[in-house]
Structure 1
Amino acid sequence: MKINNNIPALRGLNALHQNTLALNKSLEKLSSGLKINKAADDVAGMAISQKMRTQVQGLKQANDNAMDGISMIQTAEGSLNEVHDMLQRMRELAIQSANGTYGEVDRAQIQKEIDHLTSEINVTAGNTEFNQMPLLTGGEPLGDSGFSIELSRTVDENGNEIADLTTDGPRLATLEEYTQYDATLPDASLQTPGTGFTVDGVAFEFYDSDAGPYTGSAVPIDIKGADTGTTQDVLSEYDESPGFKNFNFDGTDKFTAKEPSSKGNYMIANDGGIPTTDIDIQIGANANQLLEVNLESLSSHQLGLSAPPGTPGYGPAPNIEEGVGIEITRAGLDFTNEDSIHYAIDALDKAIDKVSSTRSTLGAYQNRLEHTVENLGVSEANMTTSLSQIRDTDMAQEMAEYTRTNVLTQSATAMLAKSNELPNTVLQLIQG
């Protein structure tokens, strides 16, 4: 028997320390509900769970982003519904005005309502916003590039000239005529990045390839010519695919209407231009998981409801008001003479088609986002399940472990007390 070192007591003390440590871990897990409270609990599990936690939180936010995107699209589409109603009313008035039973005074009264409806379309497009972001005014306007275009002649279906409109003066085409325009195209090599022009409603923008790739939303033209070729090359390529809606380009400087009669005067062309507004919606938990929503400018000018003064089919329109961020044009659809009225009917048909196309695109975006929301919800649930398996405590299992270690701790405490009594037996030997 030895008294200098109480080996049984040391062993009991060691067991008590181990059981107390295990008991404290169980208490920590039961109180937090987490199986991993610090890196030492599970080194690999901690690293994996943090990645999964990042994904789960990203998926939650992406879901909210997609819902915001749906709200934005519904805002734009709701405004376009009103624009559609106004265009339908304008076409109804055009059909009424075309009736020969109405005189000049009657048509002048109709013209007033037409002008105010045109004005309201401008205001609606200018005031439609989401989170203070304009939705229907397009992107940053392009600077002037020196582009110009002129209604020069009418031709037959084979391209043979019928009338020279540079000498006779511009007019609407007759039923058998196709309008033809002469354009002065800017030399790309002389342009400044950020300038551009518009042809048949399509915006073209000059950029410098030496400064990096094109990042805008218009059709790009490289001022160095390295990536795109000349201005004529870009127009020719666009004419082939996807193609201008109303005109064919001859590869040099002429645009010829695809349809005869006054429909061939529906040319939305000007120096400068307004590209689309591109709004990126973050719909994923990782970088660059985006849905790009493109929104066009839908002012009266972009819809062909107004044009520069002197354009055939358009007349003075003093009642047209300027919308927010939209430059005023003082020539609107002319309902005062029969030729212009029939052109107005065609122009309104094209405007209605353009708004319908835009609304269809917005509807497609909304459907995609709704599917995205569903997919994000499923992904979030599955990822959360996986995270829970790694990180969360099984309370029943941990309670059983707590009970075991608690009993062992109490037992170790009792045995340590008994071990400390063993040296007392040495006194019996001494006394004996």
Structure 2
Amino acid sequence: MPQIINTNISSLNAQRNLNKSQGSLQTSLQRLSSGLRINGAKDDAAGLAISNRFTTQIRGLNVAVRNANDGISFAQTTESALDEITTSLQRIRDLAVQSANDTNSAADRQSLQEEVDQLVSEIDRIAKTTTFNGNNVADGSLSSLSFQIGANAGETVAVDGVDARASALGSQPGAVQSTSAEITAGTDIAVGAGNTIQIGANGTAVELTTAENGGVITAPTAANLQDTTSNDYGSGVAKLLAERINSLREEGVEGTEGVYATAVNNFNYTDVTGATAANGYVGAGSLANGDLEINGVDIGPVDVQEKDADGSLVNAINAKTSTTGVVASVDENGYLQLDAVDGRDMVIVTANDAEDLLFDGGDTADATDITALANAGDGFKGGQVIVSAQDTITVAGALAGGAADEQNVQAVGTIANADITTVEASNITMESVDSALAQIDSFRAGLGAIQNRFESTIRNLSAVSESLAAANSRIRDADFAAETANLSKNQVLQQAGISVLAQANALPQQALSLLG
């Protein structure tokens, strides 16, 4: 082996191995000091990307858990207000029961009424001042609150607000009822749960608007509802009116909070006029083309058995439901009934002997044109609007082209006007309080259900977060046992490398002996 001094190969080799062991030693020290196997992209680029996604998901889930806890707090805050309102309602009912006793004088009842008035005011105060992070939760102003309960967009739960104001609690149909042949401009319709407004006129123009907290609904042009359909086949006023009432609420028009309308129309032909068609009984015979039209749609031809025993008539009518909007049935007594579930008006036109066949059990005596409740036109049947609310609605605008079928106006008993100064009023107040307590119980049931849902959500989020954290740990965290072993190995290699490098650097000096 030649002796050279310009290039110390042994020294270079020792330096390379020393640098290598020193880098490994630094890596072990970094992993042990940070606890992470991946401290940068150079350690594991793919693993770092996966770990970062896991970390993002875990952080989002942990925030979602806090959001769900906020949802529980919201529900608990609302329920605490409803609990106190329940106590006040129960006290009002106690006072109403006491006042209903005839041993009380007028002065006694007035004293009891004063306490009722204070309790009503307190119910309103609680409803209007209960807030959660600045949101009023019990006065009806909050339609819903959305809670983000997931780590990704769109993973939300909506919690409905409640309306626990005295004016929104205890709506009950009262004992007062009146009938009117026509709804004219300025007519007030007091509406409560289950009350109805019957509308049945062609070419009707109806205008609606509202005033705050049960005030009269008057008519700005922005709330105009103008019928434009043909007089031949009914105006569809009931359906349009229901849609307009609901749209006012959805548009946030002041005073329509809590007002909901649905349209329905039913026609039982026991109402058919004429001596020979009074019973509306389905007889046996045949209907040819053009003998029976409903809303302009021909129902025939069809063979009909007495009482429609085989269902042929009902099936023929119902086969055209998608066009007419009318569903037929025959009761056990053989009477035909037609229902328009969306509230549209119905026009029934008969020809030849169809009146006798369908509405008089086959009697061949002359029958008058089918009419009902004094509506205009052959067989015109107006729709019915069922309105649920606690406020007063005025239908403004005369009904052009015909009169209303019937207007049922019933007194509304809400907690806001609770009266126990008479026995009759006390009894109505008891019913109103029972209704109000049922409303509150329904609100609280919903709040309890959403609390249970949020608790389930929290458990699920926590479990998912735990699983993701475990997966992330397996990717990114350092194995201390392995890294400690690597540290010891690299420390030994470092010390050995330094020693060997010193010896390698001394090797060229051996050439001096050749010069001596």
Question: Please, what TM-score do these two structures have when normalized by structure 1?
Answer: 0.63
Q: Which amino acid aligns with 2:390?
A: I
Aligned match of 1:380 = 465
Q: CA RMSD in A?
A: 4.4
For residues 12 and 170 of structure 1, do their structure 2 counterparts lie closer, same or farther at Cα, with a shift above 3 Å needed? closer
| Alignment match, 2:390 | 268
Mapping of 1:150-165 within 5 angstroms? 154=177
- Point out the structure with max Rg over C-alpha: 2
1:219 deviates by 9.8
Query: Contact conserved, 1:203 with 1:218, CA < 8 A, in 2?
Result: no
Over residues 131-153 of structure 1, what are the superposed CA-to-partner deviations in whole Å (9 max), with x where a residue is unaligned?
23211122279xxxxxxxxx9x9
- Equivalent of residue 103 in structure 2, options 101, 104, 107: 101
How far apart, in 2, do the equivalents of 1:134 and 1:428 lie?
100
Distance 1:37 1:181, change over 3 A: same
The equivalent of 2:263 in structure 1 is 236
- Aligned counterparts of 2:480 and 2:136: Cα–Cα separation in 1: 53
Find the counterpart in structure 1 of residue 112 from structure 2: 110
Tell me if the contact between 1:182 and 1:254 (Cα under 8 Å) persists in the aligned partners: yes
CA distance in 2, matches of 1:424, 1:107: 123
Q: Which amino acid aligns with 1:366?
A: Q
Cα displacement string for residues 190-246 of structure 1 (whole angstroms, at most 9, x for unaligned residues): 647xxxx999x98853569xxxxxxxx9899xxxxxxxxxx9xx8438x9xxxxxxx
Structure 1: segments with no counterpart, 5+ residues: 142-150, 156-160, 173-177, 209-216, 221-230, 240-247, 258-265, 273-309, 321-330
Q: How many residues end up aligned between the 2 structures?
A: 318
> Percent same amino acid among aligned pairs?
33
Distance 1:79 1:336 in 2: 28
Which residue of structure 1 lines up, in the alignment, with residue 79 of structure 2? Answer: 77
Post-superposition shift, 1:395? 1.2
Question: In the TM superposition, what is the alpha-carbon distance from 1:405 to its structure 2 partner?
Answer: 0.9
The equivalent of 1:296 in structure 2 is: none
Matched residue, 1:394: 479
Contact 1:313 1:343 in 2 (8 A): no
After superposition, the Cα gap between the structure-2 partners of 1:375 and 1:5, relative to the gap in structure 1 and judged at 3 Å, is same
Distance 1:170 1:9 in 2: 108
- How far apart are the structure 1 equivalents of 2:182 and 2:97? 28
Equivalent-residue separation in structure 1 for 2:458 and 2:469 (angstroms): 16
CA drift of 1:425 comes to: 2.0
Distance between the aligned counterparts of 2:499 and 2:74, measured in 1?
70
- Among 246, 249, 256, the residue aligned to 1:205: 249
CA separation in 1, counterparts of 2:133 and 2:117?
Answer: 30
Counterpart of 2:45 in structure 1 is 43
| Conserved 8 A contact 1:36-1:46 | yes
The one-letter amino acid paired with 1:57 is R
Q: Is the 8 A contact 1:170 1:312 kept in 2?
A: no
Q: Is 2:440 the counterpart of 1:355? A: yes
Distance in 1 (alpha carbons) for counterparts of 2:120 and 2:43? 70
Q: Which amino acid aligns with 2:249?
A: E
The one-letter code matched in structure 2 to 1:375 is: N
Deviation at 1:117, TM superposition (A): 0.7
Distance 1:65 1:106 in 2: 52
**Cα drift, residue 267 of structure 1:** 4.8
What amino acid is the match of 2:133? N
Q: What is the alpha-carbon distance in structure 2 between the residues aligned to residue 171 and residue 106 of structure 1? A: 34
8 Å Cα contact 1:154/1:164 also seen in 2: no
Residue 16 of structure 1 is matched in structure 2 by 18
Change (3 A) 1:355 1:190: same
Q: Is the 8 A contact 1:314 1:334 kept in 2?
A: no
Question: Is the CA contact (8 Å cut-off) linking 2:262 and 2:385 kept in structure 1?
Answer: no
Q: Which residue, 450, 453, 456 being the options, matches 1:365?
A: 450
CA distance in 1, matches of 2:183, 2:459: 60
Structure 1 residues 129 and 370: alpha-carbon distance in aligned structure 2, compared to 1, 3 A threshold: same
- Separation in 2, partners of 1:118, 1:111: 10
